[in-house]
Structure 1
C-alpha cells in the first residue's frame, strides 16, 4: 500500500507507548493513527467538538487494515500521515502511514462511519462537510 503524504502529524514515542523492551506496543499505533485523523479534521476546520455541537455528528472507526512493517522504539520521532481515499454519504476511508525518517513502519486503511452524536445511529455527513471532504479525495 502506497501512502501519499497529504497531511503529516509529528509525534514522539514515550515510555508509556512501549513494552518492557522499549518497542511500541501494537495497540499504541491505533492511538497515533486516531490522533493524526483528529488533527487532519481540525486542519480542515472541523474539530471533533464542533462536529458534535454544531452538526450533531461523530465519526467512529468501522474497520481497519494494518500492515506492521518495522517496529518503532522509545524516543523515535514519528510522522503519521493521513490522506482521504474516499468519501461517501455516511462514511469515509482514510489511508494512513507511520514513518521514522525515511523508514515506513506501518500502513493502514481506516473506514469511519458518520453517526448521530446522540443515538450513535448511522447518518449522512452534512452537505457542507461532505462537499469539502469529497474535494479532498485522493483515490488510490
Structure 2
C-alpha cells in the first residue's frame, strides 16, 4: 500500500492492493471492506499532515466520528486489483466536513481508470471531553 501524489492539492490518492482477506466467497471485495480501505486512506491523509488519531486525541482533544455515509457500488473489485482511492473534501463547515472517496482500478489493457465504488462521508469534529461538536483546528485543511 502506497500513497501517490496528485497534482490537484485538494485531491488525495491512496493505493491499496486487494488481498485475500478483502474478498468474500465469490472472490469479490466484500462491501464492508471498502469502509476499512477508505478509513486507511483517511488515516494516511492525516499522516501526510503530520497528524494521527492519537495526536488528535492527546494534543488537540478531538475525535472525528463519521456521522453519516452513503455508498455506491458499480463493479466488483477482485483479488490482486490495485485500487486507487481518491479522497476530496466536497464541503467544509465549521464543525463538519463532507468527504467523497472513490475506489478505482485500471481498465484491463489500458491506463484508464474505472470507478468501482464510492462513498460520501459526513465527518464531525468532536471535543473529547464534552463530546460536543467543535470547530476544526486551524491549518488542518491548508492544502485544500
Q: TM-score w.r.t. structure 1 length?
A: 0.84
| Structure 2 unpaired stretches of 5+ | 1-7, 107-112
Correspondence 1:117 to 2:125: no
In structure 1, the residue matched to 2:116 is 105
CA shift at 1:68, angstroms? Answer: 0.5
In structure 2, the residue matched to 1:133 is 141
CA shift at 1:74, angstroms? Answer: 1.0
> Aligned pair count?
130
Counterpart secondary structure, 2:64: strand
In structure 1, the residue matched to 2:91 is 86
Mapped to 2, the partners of 1:26 and 1:55 lie a distance apart of: 33
Paired residues of 1:89 and 1:124 also in contact (CA < 8 A): yes
List structure 1 segments (4+ residues) > 6 angstroms apart after TM superposition. Answer: none
Mapped to 1, the partners of 2:87 and 2:129 lie a distance apart of: 27
Alpha-carbon distance change, 134 to 64 in structure 1, aligned in 2, over 3 angstroms = farther
Counterpart secondary structure, 1:35: helix
CA RMSD of aligned residues (A): 1.8
CA shift at 1:89, angstroms? Answer: 1.1
Structure having the larger proportion of residues in helix: 1
Paired residues of 1:87 and 1:134 also in contact (CA < 8 A): no
